[in-house]
Amino acid sequence: MAATTAPWAPTTATAVLVLADGTVIEGKGLGARGEAVGEVCFNTALTGYQEILTDPSYASQIVTFTFPHIGNIGANDEDMEDLNPAARHGAVGAVFRAEVTNPSSYRSASHLDAWLRQRGIVAISGLDTRALTAHIRETGMPNAIIAHSEDGRFDLEALKAKAREWSGLEGLDLAEKASSGQSSVWTETPWVWDEGYGTQGEAAMHIVAIDYGVKRNILRLLAGLGAKVTVVPARTSAEDILAMEPDGVFLSNGPGDPAATGKYAVPVIQKLIEAGVPIFGICLGHQILALALGGKTQKMHQGHHGANHPVKDHTTGKVEIVSMNHGFAVESKSLPAGVDETHVSLFDGTNCGIALAGKPVFSVQHHPEASPGPQDSHYLFKRFANLIRERRGEPALAER
């Protein structure tokens, strides 16, 4: 990871990753031509690269995959997680160890290179991703710029300046940009082997999902509970939400700094809590809920990104392996009396879940819908449904 000092780099490299500290890493370019600035993180998942790259929570981030072989199952139209693919919400860049090979999967519809180019994602392969991961672990997630040019010519000084001058994610509200532009009803249910996705039938409850950058699989699991799911934009007022007469409100995942998004989201959530409606939050929704309840959030050193993170559920005493994707976290010590810590990371002890005592309100930091990742935490969707059923005087569902 030695820095290159020449103003131009006409080498065999067709892509470079330039860190804000001036480090220049050369490799082979693929995907979109051009350049993209963002924060570099690493993801330890062994599968699901397409779901990862289309997760809106990765907006303004460059994802380094620690698993060396990426692209070997190609890409398709079923494994995308952003609600509006045309808007291309998700990672701006990708870093791979090995060169992307031709796909070998019956589900493949295109080569990953072509799919990345279509999505506008700038990518680079041939890097020592272990060294880059170690660098992030030691120094934190750096701001950087990734550039791809077929002629191998790069103005390195200009790229260094752009990486150095980028403001970073702190103080940045990205949720509004990642959010839906208008309300819609979601009806797709979870994927079944040899059948694909289903369609939600008669609704047993009505859930309003506030979209801060929601993942499709979250909405599928909500619909799979028999819920009519109405997706609303991030800035929808509490009055408009309550006018829809929801049985429950879901606070979605999303990108950016929760404190920035919280400036307009927190007052809405506080009114919903006062109204007594059951509330469930995930990821950014969890962080904003904590802010609404009087807690604080902080930027993490290296974040949690992967599908193999151990989390303990204090309400059951069980340890789950979960999917994670966040660079901010709720400060456990900031949680006021009456807000219980329900889940905790066994990697570093950071907060992964809260519940409001005496109210049907809870949230988790990890991604129980996975996609990609294990399904250990799917029960949390039934826990949400049971809060709704309890409020309506109906018998509870078995969580597991």
Domain count, the chain: 2
Chain mean pLDDT for the chain: 95
HSE of 389, CA atoms in CB hemisphere, 13 A: 16
Active site residue 352: no
CB atoms closer than 10 angstroms to residue 293: 22
Active site residue 41: no
What are the residue ranges in the chain where pLDDT is below 50?
2-10
Residue 267: cis peptide before it, omega within 30 degrees of 0: no
> Among 283, 309, 320, 366, which one carries the catalytic annotation?
283
Residue 126 belongs to a domain with what CATH number?
Answer: 3.50.30.20
- In sequence order, what are the residues at sequence separation of 6 or more whose Cβ sits closer than 8 angstroms to the Cβ of residue 248? 205, 206, 207, 208, 227, 277, 278, 279, 280, 384, 385, 387, 388
In the sheet that 248-251 helps form, which strands lie side by side, from edge to edge?
184-186, 227-233, 205-211, 248-251, 279-282, 361-364, 351-356, 339-345, 297-313, 318-330
What's the domain range around 81?
15-165
Contacts of 368-371 spanning 24+ positions with Cβ under 8 A: 368/282, 368/322, 369/215, 369/217, 369/218, 369/220, 369/221, 369/282, 369/323, 370/217, 370/307, 370/322, 370/323, 371/48, 371/51, 371/81, 371/215, 371/216, 371/217, 371/323
Residues 97 and 153 in one domain: yes
Residue 400: the pLDDT is 78
Q: Specify the pTM.
A: 0.96
Closest-CA residue to 83 (of 172, 227, 209, 261): 209
Is residue 6 a part of any domain in this protein?
no
Residue 140: the pLDDT is 97
Residues 139 and 187 in one domain: no
Residue range 307-321, pLDDT digits in tens: 999 999 999 999 999
Find out whether 90 and 82 touch, Cβ atoms under 8 Å.
Answer: yes
Residue 6: the pLDDT is 37
Residue 194: the pLDDT is 86
Residue 133: the pLDDT is 97
Is residue 40 a part of any domain in this protein?
yes
Residues 190 and 159 in one domain: no
Residues 88 and 115 in one domain: yes
Residues 184 and 158 in one domain: no
Residue range 118-172, pLDDT digits in tens: 999 999 999 999 999 999 999 999 999 999 999 999 999 999 999 999 999 999 9
Residue 330 belongs to a domain with what CATH number?
Answer: 3.40.50.880
Residue 87: the pLDDT is 76
Residue 12: the pLDDT is 81
